[in-house]
């Protein structure tokens, strides 16, 4: 009975939905904070640090600064914690972040389910899959080029620039009143994701591309027992990113999201599963490990003083007033 309730697919959806709810709560708190920072209310709400997880470029630059100076970014410290935790996840648990936690991955999952229900799902062949995945690596190369070629003085300047300080607010305002072009692009991406599962993730997300490259080093993988496999192909059909799971003994593709949908689809007990260093571990270990890493990293960082920004709220408010055209309150 327990096994039927907690199928890989259902547990994945549950974890994704739980995290999405947490982000909605974070978003509401952040909106209240921004309203205070912009002088629209005098009721102070502290900024929820988790919102900095949406600033991966700033975190990438901050990671470089950390590497070369040993100093933690004081502007978006939680962003750096989240970024490093996600990097750690990929090195250990493949792209489990994409498969179980990322809110865009959750939306992709919902749109994929809709596409399958409507019978609209289409998976490109091997060549098409490679072509589809190419743009995200080009974008990743671009971002890495900027991060690598930036000297330390420029890194410092970027991190302390007013634009970076209010980058999370800019993002909120951008999505609060999207232009017609933004809405059109989002609509097109949603429509594409109904037909081609995880379209954005497979084709365009540079963050996912980075995590996929790191995941190549991961000791965790989906493995298939060729002796018990009945070659039904259900695993490959269930795979959102169209990997030929039924034709390989160990899924090593950088596109594998560790979502374990393939494991749930396999009708032969023990034939397909998750392995760590070649030894089978429970299929729920990827989701549990990712959550434990993310929550653990934030708790440790908070205890060590690397989670909350040391910038005083009044200073942040002044910066918002200056950046967004209000009157400084001093």
Q: Which parts of this chain interact with ligand SF4 (CB under 6 A)?
A: 98, 102, 104-105, 200-201, 205, 207-208, 222, 224, 229-235, 238-241, 243, 245-246, 251, 256-262, 265-266, 268, 271-272
Which residues in 266-280 are b (16+ Cβ under 10 Å) and which e?
A: beeeebbbbbbeeee
3-class secondary structure, 274: strand
Q: Which is nearer to ligand SF4, 75 or 221 (CB)?
A: 221
Q: Which is nearer to ligand SF4, 59 or 265 (CB)?
A: 265
Shortest Å distance, C-beta 207 to ligand SF4 = 4
- d(Cα 254, Cα 263) in Å, to the nearest integer? 18
3-class secondary structure, 33: helix
Shortest Å distance, C-beta 276 to ligand SF4 = 14
Q: Which is nearer to ligand SF4, 165 or 167 (CB)?
A: 167
- How many Cα neighbours within 13 Å face the side chain of 108? 24
Shortest Å distance, C-beta 289 to ligand SF4 = 14
- d(Cα 224, Cα 235) in Å, to the nearest integer? 10
Among the listed residues 104, 93, 107, the one whose alpha carbon sits nearest the alpha carbon of residue 259: 93
Contact between 65 and 178 under an 8 Å Cβ cutoff? The reply is: no
Q: Which is nearer to ligand SF4, 45 or 275 (CB)?
A: 275
Shortest Å distance, C-beta 305 to ligand SF4 = 28
Q: What are phi and psi of 224, to 5 degrees?
A: -120, 135
- d(Cα 119, Cα 207) in Å, to the nearest integer? 30
Shortest Å distance, C-beta 228 to ligand SF4 = 7
Among the listed residues 29, 35, 28, the one whose alpha carbon sits nearest the alpha carbon of residue 321: 35
- d(Cα 275, Cα 291) in Å, to the nearest integer? 18
Q: Which residues have C-beta within 8 Å of that of residue 21, sequence separation ≥ 6?
A: none
- d(Cα 178, Cα 166) in Å, to the nearest integer? 18
Shortest Å distance, C-beta 95 to ligand SF4 = 6
Contact between 281 and 92 under an 8 Å Cβ cutoff? The reply is: no
Shortest Å distance, C-beta 62 to ligand SF4 = 18
Q: Which is nearer to ligand SF4, 196 or 272 (CB)?
A: 272
- d(Cα 99, Cα 260) in Å, to the nearest integer? 8
Q: Which is nearer to ligand SF4, 228 or 314 (CB)?
A: 228
Residue of minimal CB distance from ligand SF4?
208
Residue 175 β-bridge partners:
none
Shortest Å distance, C-beta 297 to ligand SF4 = 17
- d(Cα 219, Cα 90) in Å, to the nearest integer? 10
Shortest Å distance, C-beta 238 to ligand SF4 = 6
Q: Which is nearer to ligand SF4, 48 or 240 (CB)?
A: 240
- d(Cα 323, Cα 93) in Å, to the nearest integer? 40
Q: Which is nearer to ligand SF4, 77 or 240 (CB)?
A: 240
Q: Which is nearer to ligand SF4, 195 or 311 (CB)?
A: 195
């Amino acid at each position: 009975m327990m096994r039927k309730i907690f199928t890989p697919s259902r547990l994945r959806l549950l974890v994704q939905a739980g995290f999405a709810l947490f982000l909605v709560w974070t978003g509401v708190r952040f909106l209240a904070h921004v309203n205070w920072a912009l002088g629209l209310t005098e009721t102070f709400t502290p900024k929820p640090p988790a919102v900095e997880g949406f600033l991966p470029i700033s975190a990438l630059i901050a990671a470089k600064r950390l590497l070369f100076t040993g100093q933690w970014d004081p502007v978006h410290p939680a962003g750096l914690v989240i970024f490093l935790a996600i990097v750690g996840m990929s090195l250990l648990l493949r792209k489990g972040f994409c498969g179980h936690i990322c809110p865009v991955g959750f939306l992709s999952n919902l749109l994929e389910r809709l596409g399958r229900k409507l019978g609209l799902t289409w998976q490109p062949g091997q060549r098409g899959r490679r072509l589809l995945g190419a743009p995200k690596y080009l974008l990743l190369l671009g971002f890495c080029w900027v991060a690598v070629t930036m000297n330390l003085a420029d890194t410092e300047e970027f991190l302390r620039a007013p634009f970076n300080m209010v980058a999370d607010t800019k993002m909120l305002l951008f999505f609060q009143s999207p232009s017609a072009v933004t809405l059109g692009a989002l609509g097109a991406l949603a429509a594409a994701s109904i037909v081609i599962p995880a379209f954005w993730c497979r084709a365009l997300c540079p963050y996912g591309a980075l995590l996929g490259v790191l995941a190549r080093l991961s000791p965790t993988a989906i493995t298939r027992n060729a002796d018990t496999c009945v070659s039904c192909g259900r695993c490959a059909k269930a795979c959102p990113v169209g990997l030929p799971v039924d034709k390989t003994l160990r899924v090593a593709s950088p596109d594998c999201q560790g979502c374990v949908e393939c494991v749930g689809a396999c009708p032969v007990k023990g034939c397909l599963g998750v392995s760590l260093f070649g030894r089978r571990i429970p299929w729920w270990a990827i989701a549990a490990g990712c959550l434990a890493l993310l929550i653990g990293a934030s708790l440790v960082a908070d205890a060590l003083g690397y989670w909350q920004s040391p910038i005083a709220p009044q200073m942040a408010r002044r910066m918002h007033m200056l950046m967004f055209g209000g009157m400084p309150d001093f």
